Amino acid sequence: MVQLLTKHEVRPSAMGIETNQANIMQSHNFNLWYGDHHALKDINLEMKENEVTAIIGPSGCGKSTYIKALNRMVELVPIVRTSGQINYRGRNIFSNGYEVEELRTKVGMVFQKPNPFPKSIYDNIAYGPRIHGIKNKKILDEIVEKSLRGAAIWDEVKDRLNQNAYGLSGGQQQRICIARCLAIEPDVILMDEPTSALDPISTLKVEELVQQMKEQYSIVIVTHNMQQAARISDKTAFFLNGEVVEFDKTDIIFSTPSDQRTEDYISGRFG
């Protein structure tokens, strides 16, 4: 007599990563239009503390628009209109009276291309704290060292802090930008394809860094590199035509996705 028993009632991939972390950012029925173009449609996502959430999808699917909405950078585009909510620690970031400066202090961003300021390495990192009123040299020194250590670049630049950041390699510049982001002690770090302009070694260094950083920060990363999403994220959201097709643990998305469109995309059959 055949008994069809699963050897594992819980998928092995899902074991041990059930998360109890609190939600740090949530979107509820979030919509965004560029003029008449409906770019994001009813996005419902929850991002947890100390987790890496990856957003994947083909070009034009809305993933960069979404990540830019998380710290209201989309507002820089005049024709943008939104509806629904994005909550940061329970408060709608689009609500009246929410100071965008306050939001961006807590929700920092790292961009696709390294964009250090044309200043010394030290001044790049000290820039944010100075704007926030920190003038004490000793405190600034401590922030600079801590931030550069946090971005895993201290040992490479500690002897040339007064040199221009433009003299560094692309991978080092990107880690300087991450350090600059850490200097204002954010809660959430948004990364928009942070390694797409980097060589493989620099890419691996940034990936390692993301893994270390999640112990202290919550990270949302947009990436075109699906193996990168598989390697470094805890959860993955698959966007298509402005909608979230599937959002689940990364292990499930890359092994047994429930939507055929996700399977087709991650296995390279469209995109």
Does 243 bind another protein (CB under 8 A)? Our answer is: no
Neighbours of 243 (CB within 10 A): 15
Residue 79 binds another protein (CB under 8 A): no
Which residues, numbered 114-153, are part of the site for another protein (CB under 8 A)? Answer: none
> Could you say whether residue 270 binds another protein (CB under 8 A)?
yes
Is residue 266 close enough to count as binding another protein by CB under 8 A?
yes
Output phi, psi for 124, to 5 deg: -60, -45
Q: Which amino acid is at 198?
A: L
Q: In the window 183-242, what residues touch another protein (CB under 8 A)? A: 226-227, 230
The rounded distance, in Å, linking the Cα atoms of 121 and 114 is: 13
d(CA 241, CA 13): 29
Residue 56 pairs in a beta bridge with 238
Closest to another protein by CB, 14 vs 197, is 14
Longest Cα pair distance anywhere in the chain, in angstroms?
Answer: 79
Question: For another protein, which is the closer residue by CB, 2 or 76?
Answer: 2
Q: Should residue 267 be labelled a site residue for another protein when binding is judged by CB under 8 A? A: yes
Report the distance separating Cα 233 and Cα 213, nearest Å.
Answer: 12
Q: Is 255 in the site for another protein (CB under 8 A)?
A: yes
DSSP 120: B
Residue 57 within binding range of another protein, rule CB under 8 A = no
Q: Which amino acid is at 252?
A: I
Nearer to another protein, 56 or 181 (CB): 56
Among 16, 118, 200, 268, indicate the residue that binds another protein (CB under 8 A).
Answer: 268
Taking the C-alpha atoms of residue 193 and residue 221, their distance in angstroms, rounded to an integer, is 7
Q: Of 234, 257, 259, 261, which one interacts with another protein (CB under 8 A)?
A: 257
5 vs 19: CA distance, rounded Å: 27
Binding mask 2-31 toward another protein (x if CB under 8 A, else -) reads: xxxxxxx--x--------------------
Specify which residues 32 forms β-bridges with.
Answer: 40, 82
Compare residues 88 and 254 and give the one whose CB is closer to another protein.
Answer: 254
Return residues touching another protein (CB under 8 A). Answer: 1-8, 11, 226-227, 230, 254-257, 263, 266-271
